Structure 1
């Protein structure tokens, strides 16, 4: 489909025609560059938009009137021809006011390149679908209790954005759904930069909250990947998962108070994440999770916690108080993780009545110089095998035969990441036969004889590694 563009205002058109191509968000290689020059013109262009149209707003600072937000109503692009509303240059359009965009009954809509400075939540409601927020800068008014972005629409995408600069109660990005118990389906969150949340309370400042307790048993099938978190200090949970059947992979959390917490829900997968030089690690509640190929290093708190429960299991129809409680971790696989030089390594909990059950802890590399490497409370039917332990820390209460104390001969590589050397006893020492974990944290194949820990030894360059600000956010490739 031929993409249309909108040109309104002779002066604006002349300025754009004279502008260099670099940095201009054009519709396609064949479409003539065009912009709209005011909020009224932008609204008019949105009102008459058709699939494939790209509407470009001239750079500048705009205050959206409280009674006339930019409304995207009954607009339906297609997968191949979305309706795109973009700033002329990334970050060049600043939107002030109570609201910016309001979505109603629309699909396949993209917002790109805006600097959002509004004072209320940007909401993507459940009567929409396929809404994409890409290459935007979010630094909303720092108001107590205001959540910045709430996604409740199926098949939405949040990518290459920067969320930063909140010091009060409230989350950066929430994912929920319709009603009280549903979750939006297949939301994809990737290549975002979450930084500088400095709320000092004990709860309520998460960068990402994937569900809430009434939605815990609802499957979301969300994928949260390749995001960077730095100085994410607003909550102990940088990624707070409170729903089921999600994938949290290839993220980097650095110099942050928060960690990855499976607070509610079942059947979530946490894979290939780096948590370095912060406080919290990975904390697990709920059933049938898979925790593999993660690297946790230099944490001043507990690296990995297998949680106890105030409830044995969450079930449909339970009371709100019961649902808010912790669900004991049952039938969880914890394998091929590297935990090195943390203040606390592998911990259990004893403050709740229901102990974790039927958990497999296999082929993990546990290295530390103080305390105990394993400090579990009550457990039932745990399977321990192939773990490699080292350092000045005591083994703790890992069962006999559950691990071996040998020097893993670690070497430090780029970014301060340690990996086993070519002569490490970790090589080919894996014991887990099922399920097969086919690749390591670097994206390299594990083969048939698998190594202990997150890294499978290889002379080839890694396919991926810890993220930096250059890898994420509005300007990343």
Structure 2
């Protein structure tokens, strides 16, 4: 055989290896080859994208396969084809399959990363996306909305995929019911890993939504099963059901802040799901609205959520409700569920002058309530609950705050979970999903972003620009340890990854700086400062200086700022000098100040009030000040602002304790003459503090049911001013102790 003929045989064999009939596999290496292969694809063919990075590519996978001849678009090797830059994928046609791709290091130029429609007339049917990863594929603007996956058409499947790190506004995964071509769709969403989604600080942070209020009286018939929702904390609704006749079963909600919410639509089934909170803040379970649902055989344990994010919440409705409000709860069956150490079981929740219709024709039967801590299991009724019948429920441990018709029950541990020893009440679930059962096995699960203190420790010598060079050369998570002495910084230190800077001890290490800021936390950055002194006396003589500022262009990633044993002084070379100024479209997961001192500051210590649009957006989720002194502060200890009436988020949380404030808030530029202004804070703890010759404290709320604890504070001549929704509240109601 000639060399030419031999080459031809091998080439033909490579092209058609493993194929029979029309099952031809075509390997493509660039955009033009890919589009050509798609345009000529026939039933049964496979198009393989060569391994490598495919940048700035908008793939329109438009083809028609058949039930016996699916057309497949896949990676040459799963996980080795990276879709980056301004890229996305559209499926339109029938019997299509996509597998093995990774979307990272970019964002979609349109409203979705993966869409099951080209336009309103060209949808996907009987098509599947499997083994695909979308990792932090976010638009650059935090509040520019998109959805990573938009599911249209009918009879489509999304399975064994990995979605993690959605940080900009918009639901991660949306099932759309815009017209009859996408209703009664019988989609299946299964075995996916929905990885950590940080707090958005705004409405629009759902992980999964099925339908919208406009089409909520239509049935979707979507099945959501065997998925893991791991630390999905975007907003109060983790899964938002806004349509009818869906089945949500056998999913695991792990340490996720929020609830599976039956927001709109009727006749949904919620069964076999596990909600494991592990005592994390705001972990919730199931929130029930509307009619004809069946909620059965679910397991809920160690959930701390309150209000609309509670462990089990049955809402009040609006009589003759508009389609976008709260339809009353009717004909709902809640049976054979197990609730273990669920802090808040709320009945007729949200009752007010609008939501005035209590649940009716609703049955709680054969459920198991287990309370192993506290005096009672937290059950609260906010309205008449005579429309709820309680029958044959079991109780193990502490008493219920409200009798739910229980009889004593004895529990044992079966598999991973607690169960009724006799098996007559509660859930029959014995195990929860293992992460190995969902997503892909070739991409790591969890939050993979760099963290503070995960890197190496390195010493920084004294000398010209030594700290600047050390910061510039640090790896994510590194710890810079400074020697005793003085460091002078002549440029703004830009932090695009987490970094810790630790001094030699109180008064031993001093950082002076000559610019109008010392640190700028950029997207991806966080900062920990410990055991050092920051002296602003040499900084630029201009108004509005700050020690730490966030990126002025907004940030996708949430950041942390931690101080322990830090002495900040002489921020007074000009007026309005702050320690921290947070820019618009930035969010701190945590700001924590412990064992520190602040003195001679002409402006505010913490400026967390840049979100003035009254859209429910705010700049910091958790703010903690503990065992700290502040004296001669012209502005405020902190200015925290969350405006508007949006109820979809949990923060801000503010805790100030065991601290002393002297001569705070009295600058002539501080028109409010306030030492502390807190607007829209949802959880406030102000305990064991001393205020000496300071301005007032203004606490106001515009939304929700805020919880204030003002205990054992010495206020001197000032009186806290507390208002709720614009109406004054007697501060004495919140003052416990002095």
The normalised TM-score by structure 1 is: 0.79
Q: Deviations over 1:60-101 (max 9, x none)?
A: 101135xxx32233x211122111000012221111233332
Counterparts of residues 7-406 of structure 1 (less than 5 Å): 35-65=27-57, 69-73=58-62, 75-104=63-92, 106-117=93-104, 118-119=107-108, 120=110, 121=112, 122-125=114-117, 127-128=122-123, 129-143=125-139, 144=143, 145-179=145-179, 183=183, 185-277=185-277, 279-301=283-305, 302-312=310-320, 322-349=322-349, 350-351=351-352, 352-368=355-371, 369-370=373-374, 371-376=376-381, 377-398=383-404, 402-404=405-407, 406=408
Q: Deviations over 1:230-281 (max 9, x none)?
A: 0100022221100001000000000111321100000000000000115111
Counterparts of residues 381-460 of structure 1 (less than 5 Å): 381-398=387-404, 402-404=405-407, 406=408, 408-415=409-416, 417-420=417-420, 424=421, 426-427=422-423, 451-455=424-428
Residue 378 of structure 1 and its aligned partner are, at CA, apart by 1.5
SS of match in other structure, 2:235:
coil
Residue 397 of structure 1 and its aligned partner are, at CA, apart by 4.0
Q: Distance in 2 between matches of 1:186 and 1:389?
A: 38
- State whether residues 165 and 196 of structure 1, in contact with CA within 8 Å, keep that contact through their aligned partners in structure 2: yes
- State whether residues 332 and 358 of structure 1, in contact with CA within 8 Å, keep that contact through their aligned partners in structure 2: yes
SS of match in other structure, 1:42:
helix
Q: Distance in 1 between matches of 2:298 and 2:81?
A: 38
The normalised TM-score by structure 2 is: 0.52
Aligned pair count reads: 405
SS of match in other structure, 2:303:
coil
Structure 2 unaligned segments of length 5 or more: list them: 1-6, 443-738
SS of match in other structure, 1:379:
coil
- Once structures 1 and 2 are overlaid, which stretch shifts more, 39-48 or 155-164? 39-48
- State whether residues 212 and 242 of structure 1, in contact with CA within 8 Å, keep that contact through their aligned partners in structure 2: yes
User: CA RMSD, aligned part only?
Assistant: 2.7
Residue 142 of structure 1 and its aligned partner are, at CA, apart by 1.9
- Aligned pair in 2 of structure 1 residues 60, 289: CA closer, same or farther (>3 Å)? same
- Aligned pair in 2 of structure 1 residues 44, 366: CA closer, same or farther (>3 Å)? same
Structure 1 unaligned segments of length 5 or more: list them: 1-9, 18-24, 315-321, 428-450, 457-461
Q: Distance in 2 between matches of 1:231 and 1:348?
A: 28
Q: Distance in 2 between matches of 1:79 and 1:59?
A: 28
Residue 184 of structure 1 and its aligned partner are, at CA, apart by 5.9
- Aligned pair in 2 of structure 1 residues 184, 109: CA closer, same or farther (>3 Å)? farther
More strand per residue? 2
- Aligned pair in 2 of structure 1 residues 297, 187: CA closer, same or farther (>3 Å)? same
- State whether residues 347 and 385 of structure 2, in contact with CA within 8 Å, keep that contact through their aligned partners in structure 1: no
- Bigger relative contact order, structure 1 or 2 (CA pairs below 8 A, ≥6 apart): 1
- State whether residues 343 and 378 of structure 2, in contact with CA within 8 Å, keep that contact through their aligned partners in structure 1: no
Residue 390 of structure 1 and its aligned partner are, at CA, apart by 2.7
Where has structure 1 moved over 4 Å in runs of 4 or more?
25-34, 179-182
- State whether residues 25 and 47 of structure 2, in contact with CA within 8 Å, keep that contact through their aligned partners in structure 1: no
SS of match in other structure, 1:324:
coil
